[in-house]
Amino acid sequence: MFHTTVARAANRGARVFLLLLLPAFAAACTTTGSGPGTSANAPWPMLSYYQDMYGEIEDNGIVIPAVDVTKIDRQYLRQMVDYPTSEPVGTIVIDPGNRFLYLVMENGKAMRYGIGVAKAGLEYEGDGVIGRKAEWPNWAPT
């Protein structure tokens, strides 16, 4: 089941990667511009793409409200990135110092997500194992 999810994510990832390249080509035609993480007032060709991605959805009867992506630093939005690693495809790598989570994909790529990291997460080092996976698991901070 996990491998199927990774395969689906990889296919979506390829589409995301291509969509992310479009603004880069357009930006190459100008002499000035803004990159990710710049002013919220700067023109942003990907805005509608991310509004759709982070729009309201329903999952198993639970409504997840839309996120106002204009209030998020663009570097923390989900995006395909170059990520050369020796980790196998499907591995999740967390970089707490930079507040990113990477889902390792094929061909030196990863899907990168911005994350929040608490004090305990900043102090943790080493490998971890996901002991149990569940849809909508119960969780409480410790």
Express each pLDDT in 119-130 by its tens digit: 888 888 888 888
- C-alpha span between 15 and 25 (Å, rounded): 16
| Mean of all residue pLDDT scores within the chain | 75
| Residue 1, number of CB atoms within 10 A of its CB | 6
- 90 vs 106: CA distance, rounded Å: 9
pLDDT tens by residue, 69-102: 889 898 999 999 999 999 999 999 999 999 999 9
pTM more than 0.75? no
Q: Three-state DSSP class for 75?
A: helix
Distance CA 89, CA 83 (A): 11
CB of 75 closer than 8 Å to CB of 37: yes
Measuring CA to CA, how many Å separate 133 from each of 1, 71, 129?
A: 11, 31, 11
Of 90, 109, 88, which is closest to residue 18 (Cα–Cα)?
Answer: 109
